[in-house]
Amino acid sequence: MLDSSEVTVTADGRRIGGVLMDIRNITLRFGGVVAIRDTSFDIREGEIRAIIGPNGAGKSSMLNVISGFYHPQEGEIWFRGEKRPPMKPYQVARQGIARTFQNIALFEGMSVLDNIMTGRLTHMKTGLAAQAIWWGRAEAEEVANREVVERVIDFLEIQHIRKTPVGRLPYGLKKRVELARALAAEPKLLLLDEPMAGMNVEEKEDMSRFILDVNDEFGTTIALIEHDMGVVMDLSDRVVVMDYGKKIGDGTPDEVRNNQDVIDAYLGVAHD
């Protein structure tokens, strides 16, 4: 196991630092349904952390708790060494945590470029009055934001669709645009809910490559949910395994693969 206090260097030369987010004893209920039961794990700076588990295990709920969409009844979240008070989603986003959704949430009526531009909203500082009176500064800011967005567009290889209304894009590209919008925020922590769900093999390979490249080139910390055990093993540094709302395994892909509880959960796929 990794020691959370020191910097580790992975086999492929990436640096993994101290704990960025610490999730402690989270319990989340919906009426009688316990979606998450007393679950704890941490996410370290610079790593790719996967959360896997069968359908209904509570993975999306966990991501929603981290991003402020759900509010747990019990437990604490520590971010960058500080305990986080209950927060609304927009407050979490402003802390530098960006996310994508399992069911894609894009602005369907806007172009790809405008969609990605909204990812910069948390970086736009100039106030309304200043925008009206002082076009110069607002424009300089706009230019700077556009540069970031263009870089993301190049990075994800979506130049050819930049002016296309998102509503007209095929599913796979929508997923990529959603990732682009999250990346445009230059997040400290990037949360991806099943980024490869519903994709064909080729699209899955592209997406895997993008995720690895984002982490490698920008050093972005990534927590991602994946349904498919195989994909996760190639991608992630450490894996949390959930089943029926509980954490049943936590460790490197190899450790998790050999964990008997995990094997049972995945063999007894009755509730998949």
Ligand X SMILES: Nc1ncnc2c1ncn2[C@@H]1O[C@H](COP(=O)(O)OP(=O)(O)O)[C@@H](O)[C@H]1O
Nearer to ligand X among residue 37 and residue 123 (C-beta): 37
Among 4, 7, 25, 33, binds ligand X (CB under 6 A): 33
Taking the complex as a whole, how short is the minimal distance between the CB of residue 17 and ligand X, in angstroms?
28
Cβ atoms of 20 and 238 closer than 8 Å: no
By CB under 5 A, is residue 60 in contact with Mg ion? yes
Site string for ligand X, 34-53 (x = CB under 6 A): -x-----------------x
Select the span of 9-17, 53-61, 122-130, 174-182 touching Mg ion (CB under 5 A).
53-61
By CB under 8 A, is residue 162 in contact with another protein? no
By CB under 5 A, is residue 221 in contact with Mg ion? no
Please report the sign of the dihedral spanned by the C-alpha atoms of residue 137, residue 141, residue 144, residue 149: negative
By CB under 8 A, is residue 128 in contact with another protein? yes
- Report how many residues bind ligand X under the rule CB under 6 A: 11
CA distance linking residue 86 with residue 70, whole number of Å: 10
By CB under 8 A, is residue 133 in contact with another protein? no
Task: Return the residues of window 73-92 that contact another protein according to CB under 8 A.
Answer: 88-90
Please report the sign of the dihedral spanned by the C-alpha atoms of residue 255, residue 258, residue 264, residue 265: positive
* 57, interface contact from Mg ion, ligand X, another protein, none, CB < 5-8 Å by kind: ligand X
Question: Which residues, listed in sequence order, are joined to residue 83 by a DSSP beta bridge?
Answer: 78
The amino acid present at 109, given as its one-letter code, is G
Q: How many helices (H) and strands (E) does the chain have?
A: 10, 12
Taking the complex as a whole, how short is the minimal distance between the CB of residue 35 and another protein, in angstroms?
18
Give, rounded to a whole angstrom, the gap between the first and last alpha carbons of the chain: 30
By CB under 8 A, is residue 164 in contact with another protein? no
* 174, interface contact from another protein, Mg ion, ligand X, none, CB < 5-8 Å by kind: none
Helix%, strand%, coil% for the chain, nearest 5: 40, 25, 35
Site string for another protein, 44-73 (x = CB under 8 A): -----------------------x-x----
Question: Which residues, listed in sequence order, are joined to residue 77 by a DSSP beta bridge?
Answer: 23
The amino acid present at 29, given as its one-letter code, is R
By CB under 8 A, is residue 118 in contact with another protein? yes
Q: 270: buried, middle or exposed (CB in 10 Å: 19+, 13-18, 0-12)? A: exposed
As a dihedral over the C-alpha atoms of residue 74, residue 77, residue 78, residue 80, rounded to 10 degrees, the angle is -170
Task: Return the residues of window 12-31 that contact ligand X according to CB under 6 A.
Answer: 30
Binding site for Mg ion (CB under 5 A): 60, 102
